[in-house]
Amino acid sequence: MKLGILFGGCSEEHPISVKSAQQVAESLDRDRYEPFYIGITGSGEWLLCDGPEPQWEQGNCRPVVLSPDRSTSGLLVLDEGKYETIALDVVLPVLHGKLGEDGAIQGLLELSGIPYVGCDIQSSALCMDKSLAYLVARSAGIATPAFRTLAAGETLDPGQLNYPVFVKPARSGSSFGVSKVAGPEELPSAVATARQYDAKVLIEEAVVGAEIGCAILGDGADLLAGEVDHIALSHGFFRIHQESTPETGSDNSVAIVPADIPAAARTLVRETAKTIYRALGCRGLARVDLFLTDDGRVVLNEVNTLPGLTSYSRYPRMMAAAGLPLVEVIDRLVSLALTGKIR
């Protein structure tokens, strides 16, 4: 099976995408798949390369584009004024953040007619905008933080808020640009930081509770939930993928898998995550991040439609703890993309 693997990208999460692709490359069943690695540079150049090694751009690469013309479906490899066509059976996007998780690459793949792993255009765009995801989740009866948004150029009287609050880019991946604000004097700086990543800013109440995650795989009624994890913090707040040396652990947190919470709470988290996943129209895979409060309520934090797949990422750890290593996760995702069913 000819499997196109897209990685890199123009977002701030480019380095994490490369590391995710490295782990995917190590986990592929080579008797089942013939991989074609398409790396996207930070400036947006598409290159067909040998693999996602750390210095992949300096290796044997050729310019390539994904044809949106279904009559020449697949890759167009450019070489000295000529092009070669490579048909693909399915594409696995290993892209995080903007232009990877927001529906942009999904739209191009829809035009191309090539089956692809993961959420479609609508659910990708919806989950990427945290404020819109909150509105849909609320309509499904899911608790969310109280929030408000600031459009480009809009200002807010800091005295109108109840502190502490979190200030976030509304449409950005990971925790880049996120600040915890203790009082009104800190708000202008936090908004300016968030606007480095998105003109639309989300301001939400700080929820007191344990940070819990749930990995979901599947579509519709056929969903598999991995083990629930718990991010135990020593101080500050969880800054995913911004650690100085993430392979050796976080600077202020430990991921506990399975989560050290009661069995009833674990069941509630899983069922709530599935409800959110379905309400937002997700398919393929997603990591649903939640808060579990002291009184047993589950509150939505955010949904990541293309979660990290590195050796230290939460999604593969939760699936592995449920007995599903990454090699099997990939097989099931590809099967789902091709047939609509988990193999």
| pLDDT on residue 252 | 56
Is residue 310 within 8 A of residue 19, CB to CB? The reply is yes
Instruction: Supply 221's token pair.
Output: 């009624």
Q: CB under 8 Å to 281, separation ≥6 — which residues?
A: 119, 120, 122, 123, 126
Q: CB under 8 Å to 118, separation ≥6 — which residues?
A: 93, 106, 124, 283, 284, 285, 305, 306, 333, 337
- Asked if residue 215 and residue 101 are part of one domain, the reply reads no
In the listed set 161, 182, 205, which residue is the last one of a domain according to the structure?
Answer: 205
Task: Name the β-bridge partners of 82.
Answer: 79
- Asked if residue 168 and residue 48 are part of one domain, the reply reads no
How far is it, in rounded angstroms, from Cα 338 to Cα 332? 10
How far is it, in rounded angstroms, from Cα 249 to Cα 180? 22
| pLDDT on residue 343 | 58
- Asked if residue 62 and residue 16 are part of one domain, the reply reads yes
- Asked if residue 230 and residue 90 are part of one domain, the reply reads no
Phi, psi dihedral angles at 133 (to 5 degrees): -60, -40
Q: Look up tokens 């977002």; give the residue.
A: 11
- Asked if residue 154 and residue 132 are part of one domain, the reply reads no
- Asked if residue 266 and residue 182 are part of one domain, the reply reads no
How far is it, in rounded angstroms, from Cα 125 to Cα 130? 10
Q: What is the DSSP letter of 196?
A: T
Q: How many domains is the chain built from?
A: 3
- Asked if residue 254 and residue 139 are part of one domain, the reply reads yes
Rg (CA), the chain: 20
From the list 99, 70, 103, the residue with the least C-alpha distance to 87 is 70
132-148 per-residue burial string, b: 16 or more CB within 10 A, e: under 16 = bbbebbeeeebbbbebe
Instruction: Supply 139's token pair.
Output: 């309509």
- Asked if residue 331 and residue 242 are part of one domain, the reply reads yes
SS3 call for 256:
strand
- Asked if residue 94 and residue 226 are part of one domain, the reply reads no
| pLDDT on residue 236 | 54
Residue ranges making up the domain that contains 232 = 125-143+208-339
Query: Which amino acid is it at 147?
Result: F
Is residue 257 within 8 A of residue 229, CB to CB? The reply is yes
Instruction: Supply 275's token pair.
Output: 């409800």
How far is it, in rounded angstroms, from Cα 300 to Cα 212? 10
In the listed set 205, 227, 251, which residue is the last one of a domain according to the structure?
Answer: 205
Q: For the chain, which ranges sit under pLDDT 50?
A: 235, 242
- Asked if residue 252 and residue 135 are part of one domain, the reply reads yes
Residue 212 sits in a domain whose CATH number is 3.30.470.20
Query: Which amino acid is it at 166?
Result: F
Residue 104 sits in a domain whose CATH number is 3.40.50.20
Instruction: Supply 211's token pair.
Output: 């940070």
In the listed set 175, 190, 205, which residue is the last one of a domain according to the structure?
Answer: 205
Task: Name the β-bridge partners of 75.
Answer: 66, 86
From the list 204, 140, 145, 144, the residue with the least C-alpha distance to 170 is 204
- Asked if residue 137 and residue 245 are part of one domain, the reply reads yes
- Asked if residue 164 and residue 108 are part of one domain, the reply reads no
Q: CB under 8 Å to 183, separation ≥6 — which residues?
A: 163
How far is it, in rounded angstroms, from Cα 193 to Cα 167? 9
